Structure 1
Amino acid sequence: MLQRLNILLAARPRTAEAWLARMARPDAGAHDQAALTAWLRADPDHLRQYEQAKADQAALEPLRSVFADDLATLRRSPRPSMTRRTLLAPGLAASAVAIAAVVVLPSMLKDQGRLYEAASGRITDIALEDGSRMTLDAGSAVRVALRDDARRATLERGAAYFEVAHNAARPFQVAVGDRRVIVTGTKFVTALTEDGAEVSLLQGRVAVGSRDATARDALANALILSPGERADFTPGKPGIRKTTADVDTATAWRKRRLVFQDAPLSVVLAAVARYSDHPLVLTDPALGRMRVTMVLPLEGEDAIEDRLTALLPIRMTPSPDGARRIVRAD
């Protein structure tokens, strides 16, 4: 028994959520309980973390039937091919508290729905029939299908802010790539970047989980986000990172400005391109790696270009095909 306990301790889970998953296994026994007890005694904060994880898992219980139905449908259906990276975001409510679950799954089946698009340079507010509201960043697109039993949306490109009307009987699902969020009512903002996707939570609670064959396992290791926290991930790759969200930066575009903190110039130009009628072309990859910190008011294409060239060591030159070529200033 001592040898078995030593093995368990050497390979023991490192988080409260992982311990919950282990103890929920059918083969969990006295050895596992002894290892858990040792972990709880190792740090005074471990008990608090474990109790919080149990409370969070209990709050997700209403989602299990929703996940079970969707997972059964996905297992019966062929996996659709992915042609682009997309994003997601949201929350869900177990009672008065809004909670959402982001689960790594094969791409949600594309329901027929309405495609909402924001034109280049135009931030667009949209009121949905269920009482929810979305704001699309310039050049963004979201497909929405509202049904009697569910509300589904897919962020196809760009960024979007959601205020989801509460309806526990009709969960609101937002999909991006191989992840999704189920929500009954909350506020959040999502964005696709060159590096992946991000979800910033303004109101409610979000549980970020990893893919598994069953609803129970899909939620067992959920990562809980609270307001002011952010999830970052790359579609098609494992792992979801939790960081502190800069909500003002994440939602700055809604106030017609872009905020960048130590961002590569390539990321800056990708964001600016949504407000330009002309493609922006970097001629030097090394120039794209230049780090940039700036606030960029969205006051029209010419004003944006003037501010960029005034603050950064770059020039924009027009080309015959209508693009703007970005070169290093002399």
Structure 2
Amino acid sequence: MRRADSEAADWAAKMHGSLTEAERAAFAAWHAKPGHADAYAEAEEHYVLGASMSRQRIGARARPSQSAPRQLRWAVAAVAAVSIAIGFAWHLGKPGDVEQIAAGPMLPGQLRLADGSTVTLMDGAWAEPQFTTSERRVRLHGGRARFEVAHDANRPFIVVAGRSETVALGTVFEIDAREAIPKVTLVKGSVEVRLSGTGHSLRLAPGERAEVSDTGPRLLPEMANPVPATMLAANNLPLGAVLDAANKTGGKPIRLDDPALASLPVTGRFDVADGDSLARKLAAALGLSAEDKGNEIILRKK
């Protein structure tokens, strides 16, 4: 196995822990070297076992067997996946323990959390869910993320980005952490935005935006051309995730003729509430055909 492949597997596993700033800087420097981006992407291409499992951890354990015959390689990968699943289940079963799951910064896509909430990661974002019996806390590092929070009145859902904290019980909101001052946009429901460690807080209504600086949260003026709540910004997001978002809007459903198409990467901005337009754009971008069946739209290979 090439040295770059071995290092990529190691980095893929490390990205699921709590990294220091120095470690993240070291990864960025390593990733920028010729051939390393491809090696890292390949390290992510192993199957994921379970909605909360990381394909990077499975891949990192399976990669050392790639020089073996194909049948043996997949057997080792399967054993690794099962062992991770057993260890993960034991970890969650420990009373008062903290769940540690993260998505690597080079892995845009959707995370489904243990409580049923979903996080859509964009622009290199990565997240660390840390759930306890009393609260659901997620640390967002960089990029942008859209949160669809499952309702649980007994456990508030708190997203930490920089010095900001966004608290919700059951709602949809987005956080932009690409700059030093995080920005929060509420799509649906209600959230409280606050400066960590202080009493400064602000409650948002749907459509409102706020930023959280060192002086506390403040409401941002409305944009001249507000972005519809159903507008989705995809950055290599799996086609299946885009269609899931579209089909939740209640419009004409879009189906895939072949489930394998769900893994196709999609990049762009789409109004997921406009099923006809979305299907045409996706078909054109991915080289597919879109067939309107009247009550649904089918995407298939040409």
Question: TM-score, structure 2 length as denominator?
Answer: 0.41
Point out the structure with max Rg over C-alpha.
1
Question: TM-score, structure 1 length as denominator?
Answer: 0.38
Structure number with the bigger relative contact order (C-alpha 8 A, sep ≥ 6) is 1
